[in-house]
A and B are shown apart, each in its own frame.
Chain A
Amino acid sequence: MMGSENADGFEETQINASKEDMENLSLGVDGDGADGDDPLTKSHVNGDSSNSGYRSAMSTLSNVRDPLSTPPTLLTPTDSDPLFAPSSFGDIRSHGSKPNCSDNSYIEPPSYADVIFSPFDENSDSEINGAEDSSVHSQSSDSLSRSPSSSSSDYIKITVSNPQKEQEPSNSIVPGGNNYITYLITTRTNLPDFGGPSEFSVRRRFRDVVTLADRLAESYRGFCIPPRPDKSVVESQVMQKQEFVEQRRLALEKYLRRLSAHPVIRNSDELKVFLQVQGKLPLPMSTDVASRMLDGAVKLPKQLFGEGGASAVPVHEVVQPAKGGRDLLRLFKELRQSVSNDWGGSKPPVVEEDKEFLEKKEKMHDLEQQIINASQQAESLVKAQQDMGETMGELGLAFIKLTKFENEEAVFNAQRTRAADMKNVATAAVKASRFYRELNSQTVKHLDTLHDYLGMMMAVQGAFADRSSALLTVQTLLSELSSLQARAEKLEAASAKVFGGDKSRIRKIEELKETIKVTEDAKNVAIREYERIKENNRSEVERLDSERRVDFMNMMKGFVVNQVGYAEKISNVWAKVAEESSQYDREKQSS
């Protein structure tokens, strides 16, 4: 898991604000330069379809990816957001003028496009951090990302962009043809496996990603492979919609980045081929019905009991779970076992005797539950922070209108005084509102880790499933072996009774003995495969555990640092107002 992944995403579209822009954002109060340092963060929306929950809550924070290419007015997040409604108060930028001056210098709604602030982006200039964040641990930006590349100079960075509509050039019976979307996948890396420092791009469609995922699942059994984005069961019309495409683009990017973060998979042939080979993806596709039903595999394994027997069967094919057209016998055997066990009351199809493994599995399950729970509460927290910011902003705006009204209609000085007092509060409320929103988009980034790990828990389940199915294979072979041997014995016993030998029976026994030998070999291979997968499981889980600890620690630190930083900012804003209105402090004067 790369903590820097999310931060990296901002590199592309990061804009360093000019000094002037920052001053304009400072709302015209002297010594408030720090405000200009707090531009709004462009948060990303993660497109995992399983996570539409707080994404929609956060969608008001998200913007089109490249703010530079759209005029700022289009960036108004929601219609109801009063901060960004067209202001009728005049567009007066206050350059350091006093807040209470009577020329009505009202706040211009800040534009997201002006500045982007990403304090935890290790690649960003820390100039934006400014002196104000001295109490914020600025070194945390380095310690926050646990990317392998931060220790060495290796890096690989994948970007998914530029979705385009393409048409299948086939004989379309259905008019309107088969439209699909392709994405431009750009890789920047200096890994030697890719031929030294280079940058290259290919176009891929979603189907190719499915293929990649399936091939990886086959080749890396026992590994915790990051799960790919979901296929969508939606009609083609929806698929064309921009929002869907954008969600998918983000999901794909995240997926590929996770793959490239995995120390073993990043060097896989499958991934290399996917990222580099132009044109059609040269990986076999998943096609047959049976495999689609079982959401998995690919190849049509050659029949185990050989064409002509013996060990013409490639070893790795023997140990594939029996899915796919030909080997229906084995398929049905395994299916029968697992189905009967599932329906019969969730007994595992395999007899798992490894207590340690069972414990680990149990623990992982608990962990997953808690991560789900924590992720949900994180969503609620984010929404609550968002709402607070919004309402604070609306309050500020209402007071601004009141201020303007009192000033226009003022007959008495008391009214002007009140208007001035009100304006301070209003200004502070608007500033605080902005801070809440910034805080929130940072919070999303950090707490996102929880959500990412949900995906990883799925990967762990996949790894455990690989192990279970390998064990099932072993056990199936073992039981077949023993039944074959029993048959052989019976035949031998029967044949011995016949005086002078039973030609047909003897021949049968010979054949059986051949089969037994092949099965014996297959069993040994299966056992070796099982042990291999077990080892993969173990090392992967260990790796994941330690990565997860680091990531969670970083998440907590980032979250807390963020809270501290923005609490300070918000506090300062209000302390100033309290200071300015200290004449109204009744606690000091006794009544």
Chain B
Amino acid sequence: MENTEQTRSITGSMQSPRSPSSQPYFSVSVTDPVKLGNGVQSYISYRVITKTNFPEYQGPEKIVIRRYSDFVWLRDRLFEKYKGVFIPPLPEKSAVEKFRFSAEFIEMRRAALDIFVNRIALHPELQQSEDLRTFLQADEETMERFRFQETGIFKKKPADLMQMFRDVQSKVSDAVLGKEKPVEETTPEYEKLKHYVFELENHLTEAQKHAYRLVKRHRELGQSLLDFGKAVKLLGACEGEPTGRAFSDLGTKSELLSIKLQKEAQRVLMNFEEPLKDYVRYVQSIKATIAERGTAFRQHCELAETTKLKEINLDKLMLTRSEKVGEAEIEYRVIKAESEEATQRFERIVKRMNEEIVRFQEQKTEEMGVAFHQFAKGQARLANGIGDAWRALLPKLEAASSV
């Protein structure tokens, strides 16, 4: 849909400023929603068309069929693998059954999925992802297999399970050592960032709520104009000339304007309310990243603690020339390696987040700028249309009243 591609400017803002010819390109489109399956098990499938000259991809064009849960799979994988990156958000699952297949919902979802994939394709790190390649290229059976693996109960990989176990261990030792409170980063900049993100979500949610209501108001005004037009025409039928004709004209105009309002309602929904919702989702994604960072930080701290303890223990044992020295030394080395890993993980997250924040702010300014512009243009156009329509009626009314 041209509309969405025009309004969302990610493509433009993210490309590197090189000359157009033979520069690497990577664009994806999500199109052609089709309802498949029967009854309760029915779902929508989308055509995902990848156009790229990246060497890892079967170019120049590849088409696959994907459904919503495939996108969820991709998002989850990226979230696991690229901690610190603000993974682009997905549109929500629809809770309301009957709304699931309404044309409006399907279109909004399609547009949002399109943006989702394109954002990934344009992200310098994410675009390298193997999972992305799978998503964009694997045949449907393979994709389904991958997807089933992830939606199983044992979602976590063995390594993760071990980590969870260790987390529990360290928590126990914390309790023993009297450290009940979870450890958190407290640098002022990070505090400020966290505060900013949480507050931002509140503000945005409120704005989005009002934007959605505004869409409703457009629809309601349209409906009332329609009803008013009809009623006025009926009234005109009771009156003789010239009043009857005037009422009839008034009613017709009113009905016409009702249509304009319904159209604008739809535009406001797609081009203004949806970007705001997307903004909210993005902030929620950032919150998830913040949570990950918190986990990573805790692990880093706890493992550092544990390492220190092990070192102390080892020194003690060495002093007493205990036979447990060997064992302790091995334990110490293992823990130290893990600690270093944890620290690296944490630092990578921090680095990524710093880059991501910059990108996020710029991206959002651009996207919201476009949304605001569209909204203002739409409102101006609507008002103009309304003014023109009513103005056209005035000479007729003047003529009728001078009769």
Contact = CB atoms under 8 A, between A and B. Distances in A.
A581 B380 CA distance: 13
A589 B250 CA distance: 40
Contact of A567 (B246, B383, B393): B383
A378 B373 contact: no
A583 B9 CA distance: 12
Contacts of A329: none
Nearest to B215: A391
Contacts of B218: 388
A273 interface: no
Interface stretch (B43-51, B154-162, B195-203): B195-203
A367 B238 contact: yes
Interface stretch (A42-50, A210-218, A307-315, A546-554): A546-554
A370 B366 CA distance: 52
Interface string A414-426: 1101100110110
Contact of B369 (A135, A395, A418): A418
Given A380-B224, A421-B369, A587 B217 contact: no
B6 A591 contact: yes
B243 A552 contact: yes
Contacts of A563: 386-387, 390
A395 B231 contact: no
Contact of A584 (B200, B246, B370): B370
Interface stretch (A100-108, A346-354, A401-409, A488-496): A401-409
Contact of A370 (B7, B217, B238, B394): B238
Interface residues of A, number: 72
A399 B207 contact: yes
A147 interface: no
Interface in B381-403: 383-384, 386-387, 390-391, 393-394, 397-398, 400-401
Contact of B221 (A363, A384, A415): A384
Contact of A570 (B206, B373, B383): B383
A557 to B, nearest CB: 5
A402 B207 contact: yes
A297 B250 CA distance: 43
A402 B204 contact: yes
A587 B12 CA distance: 12
A567 B235 contact: no
Interface string A116-155: 0000000000000000000101000001000000000000
Interface in A370-405: 370-371, 373-374, 376-378, 380-381, 383-385, 387-388, 391-392, 394-395, 398-399, 401-402, 405
B383 A414 contact: no
B359 to A, nearest CB: 10
Contacts of A550: 401
Contact of A577 (B376, B384, B387): B376
A91 interface: no
B217 A553 contact: no
Given A552-B243, A586-B7, A589-B12, A560 B394 contact: yes
A417 B203 contact: no
Contact of B391 (A414, A415, A564): A564
Interface in B202-250: 203-204, 206-207, 209-211, 213-214, 216-218, 220-221, 223-225, 227-228, 230-232, 234-235, 237-239, 242-243, 246-247, 250
A578 B247 contact: no
B370 A586 contact: yes
A370 B223 CA distance: 19
Given A374-B232, A571-B383, A591-B11, A381 B372 contact: no
Nearest to A365: B238
Contacts of A587: 6
Contact-residue bracket for chain B: 35 or more
Contact of A574 (B225, B237, B380, B387): B380
B16 interface: no
B379 interface: yes
A554 B239 contact: no
B234 A373 contact: yes
B368 interface: yes
Given A425-B375, A584-B372, A587-B6, A556 B397 contact: yes
A392 B220 CA distance: 14
Given A373-B235, A377-B231, A402-B204, A553 B213 contact: no
Contacts of A561: 394
B192 interface: yes
B5 interface: yes
A582 interface: yes
A424 B401 contact: no
A343 interface: no
Contacts of B207: 395, 398-399, 402
Given A370-B235, A581-B369, A587-B6, A391 B214 contact: yes
Contacts of A380: 224, 227-228
A558 to B, nearest CB: 10
B390 A578 contact: no
B362 interface: yes
A417 B223 CA distance: 38
B377 interface: yes
Contacts of A405: 199-200, 203
Nearest to A418: B365
A560 B365 contact: no
B365 A570 contact: no
Interface string A539-551: 0000000001110
B397 A567 contact: no
Contacts of A135: 391
A395 B11 contact: no
Nearest to A401: B203
A61 interface: no
Contacts of B12: 586, 589, 591
A359 interface: no
9 contacts: A371-B235, A395-B214, A398-B206, A398-B210, A402-B207, A414-B365, A552-B243, A578-B376, A581-B373
> Closest 9 interchain pairs by CB?
A567-B387, A571-B383, A574-B380, A577-B376, A584-B373, A395-B210, A414-B361, A584-B369, A581-B373
Given A387-B217, A574-B377, A585-B377, 6 more contacts: A405-B203, A409-B192, A424-B372, A425-B372, A560-B393, A563-B390
